[in-house]
Amino acid sequence: MQLVVGRIGRAHGIRGDVSVEVRTDEPELRLGPGAVVLTDPASAGPLTVESGRVHSGRLLLRFAGVKDRNAAEALRGTVLISEVDPEESPEDPEEYYDHQLIGLDVVLLDGTPVGELTEVVHLPYQDLLTVRTADGTDVLVPFVTQIVPTIDLENQRAVITPPPGLIDLEQAEVAGASSAEDTDEGADGAEGSK
């Protein structure tokens, strides 16, 4: 099983270091010295991590064979991929690999089926789960405990408690709907007095 663990950013300095946008909760394991990572595009790798350090809050890596700024800059935008045993799980019981989540049945707290989890979208501040509903619509569900309280890998399901309107747009509550009507009436009254 392949797991995206990072993306190479700008070159740093003149000795071949690159900044890396980390996409794993285990960078010391996946991107530590000696780690061999596959790449996308495949022609850029595989790469062996020679050394790493944190500088100004960013992870900087140096790869074997990448000796200068030009070689480092040529790797910019390359996605780093780690080979992971499909049976392996993260150390923290509240964390999951994407491949563990994709394909789970998504149900409401009362057991009502919602759809199938088809993708995990990683954004800088929060992950989203793509849920394909029975009618074929894709819905993005924030992957936070308040909305996704239970991931049950044994029974292959994710339990969600979505706010009104997240899954069914007809249940959406329009903010300020009653006050907007009051404002319109007030505006009509104001115009009538001119």
Span of 21-25, 113-117, 122-126 with lowest mean pLDDT: 122-126
Q: What is the rounded average pLDDT of the residues 114-137?
A: 88
Q: How far apart are CA 33 and CA 64, in angstroms?
A: 10
In DSSP terms, 132 is beta-bridged to 116, 138
Instruction: Tell me the CATH number for domain 2-83.
Output: 2.40.30.60
Q: How far apart are CA 191 and CA 160, in angstroms?
A: 48
Is residue 97 pLDDT above 50, yes or no?
Answer: yes
Measured at the alpha carbon of residue 135, what is the angle toward residues 131 and 140, in degrees to the nearest 5?
25
Is residue 44 pLDDT above 70, yes or no?
Answer: yes
Question: Which fold would CATH assign to domain 98-167?
Answer: SH3 type barrels. (2.30.30)
Instruction: Show me where the domains of the chain are located.
Output: 2-83, 98-167
Cα 43 from chain centre: 25
Provide the pLDDT confidence category of residue 142 given band limits of 50, 70 and 90: very high
What residue has token string 């992957």?
143
pTM of the model: 0.57
Spatial CA neighbour of 76 closest among 25, 147, 7: 7
Q: How far apart are CA 124 and CA 188, in angstroms?
A: 46
* Cβ(51)–Cβ(59) below 8 Å: no
* Cβ(140)–Cβ(123) below 8 Å: no
Cα→Cα distances 88→83, 84, 100, Å: 11, 7, 10
Structure-token pair, residue 168? 């069914």
Span of 34-48, 133-147, 157-171 with lowest mean pLDDT: 157-171
pLDDT of residue 69: 94
Q: How far apart are CA 113 and CA 134, in angstroms?
A: 9
